[in-house]
Structure 1
């Protein structure tokens, strides 16, 4: 399968509109984008493409990246930077099946699938399929499994995408703190490519109103506040899950400029091929 990182930034992206911090200025000077989160997965056996999350930057991502429009989509949660690009389906698709979890959120009293169905009921070319976490389903000839993660106060899901013929595996943490349940970690384990939320380095936890949590043996926070992993937390999780290759995504412009463009922080446009025997970077 071919995996393209269309959007690798957090809710404001990098560079952030109206921001003149050193990181945003350096991103502009270097022509680097970290737009709002989205991942494109193409199955070359079926020539079908799956889109994971629909970024508000959908239009620009597809105008500037050489990938086909998706045949199906899956949405991890209802925050606007992962969902509201679905409005771009208007007059663009003949049809777009969208998959999302069927678990009822006690805060919204709706599942992710129900929220999408209600919010975008005017898009008659979009159909919503409710999927049960931990129960694999098929999309674009690939096996998809949603798993609960920890992104309070709303429910959120990570997922795996596996090619049943080659054995290639992509794991995605979803927006999450380090406190991902063991059952979910077991599903995410041993990916060829792991895309993991790493919003800021742990050193910035001192600036969060509630600091950090989930410290490692050296006292370094693996969660920033309550909702997202620190860089150190993301790398710790990747090591635990024995990921062959890890890319840090959903990163914020708050990374200090001397750290913001270092490996393994991802940028928009990266492309990888997973064939079950290894991983190759294409772009």
Structure 2
């Protein structure tokens, strides 16, 4: 299993357009990027690949990293930065299954799969494939499971990808607070590689209108507002899951420049062979 981090940034990416903060300036000077979130997972035995989330930066990411086009796509939720790259399949792919959860979201009245079907009904290449959370399915020689996480007000799912032949396991947290359900944690546990949403350090919670949530025993917030984990929350979850290696993703340009490019914060283009 070869995992390529196509996009490691949040909805604005780093550098952010028209931003001259120290972190964005440093990213330009270092020639590193965090485009909108997306992960390429290749099965080198079969020559097939899964794309986890379709970034609006799809075209640029695939050109830059020179990875194969996906044979299957998994969508975690319907926010712009995870969904709207699906339009890029036009004239690139003849037919691609797009796996997404079948649970109805009370906020939208549709499941993620139904939203994909409605929003991209005009693209013949897209075949929505609704899947039930916690029920593994096979694609590209891998076993894939969608697991509910906590990203209010919308439903959102983490993704677990396992290779049944080698035992390699990738867990992607999805966009989530620290309040990942226990049942999901059990499925996500013991990954060789954990890609964890960590939008900002906990110290920035004081600037969020809702502050922080899910405090550690020492009072450190593990959730920024209500939707995303802090760096500290993501690392606490990684520890709870027993992750072999952890890379923090979905990162905002609000990280102080002295922390913004330090391990385990990921940047685009990282590759992991599991």
Determine whether 1:85 maps to 2:85.
yes
In 1: Cα distance, 2:190 partner to 2:259 partner = 27
Which 4+ stretches in 1 moved above 6 angstroms? Answer: none
- 1:278 aligns to what? none
Structure 1 residue 66 displacement after superposition: 2.1
In 1: Cα distance, 2:200 partner to 2:107 partner = 27
Structure 1 residue 60 displacement after superposition: 0.3
For structure 1, list consecutive stretches of 5 or more residues without a partner in the other structure.
275-283
- 2:220 aligns to what? 220
* 1:138-166 deviation line (CA, Å, top 9, x unaligned): 11010000000000000000010000110
In 2: Cα distance, 1:107 partner to 1:203 partner = 31
- 2:97 aligns to what? 97
TM-score (norm 2): 1.00
Written as runs of structure 1 = structure 2, the 5 A alignment for 1:153-232 is 153-232=153-232
- 1:113 aligns to what? 113
In 2: Cα distance, 1:45 partner to 1:131 partner = 25
SS of the equivalent of 1:106 reads coil
SS of the equivalent of 2:55 reads coil
* 1:185-225 deviation line (CA, Å, top 9, x unaligned): 00000000000000000000000001001000100000000
In 2: Cα distance, 1:67 partner to 1:2 partner = 11
Paired residues in the alignment total: 274
In 2: Cα distance, 1:44 partner to 1:32 partner = 27
In 2: Cα distance, 1:4 partner to 1:209 partner = 35
In 2: Cα distance, 1:186 partner to 1:213 partner = 22
TM-score (norm 1): 0.96
For structure 2, list consecutive stretches of 5 or more residues without a partner in the other structure.
none
Determine whether 1:47 maps to 2:39.
no
In 1: Cα distance, 2:134 partner to 2:57 partner = 29
- 1:130 aligns to what? 130
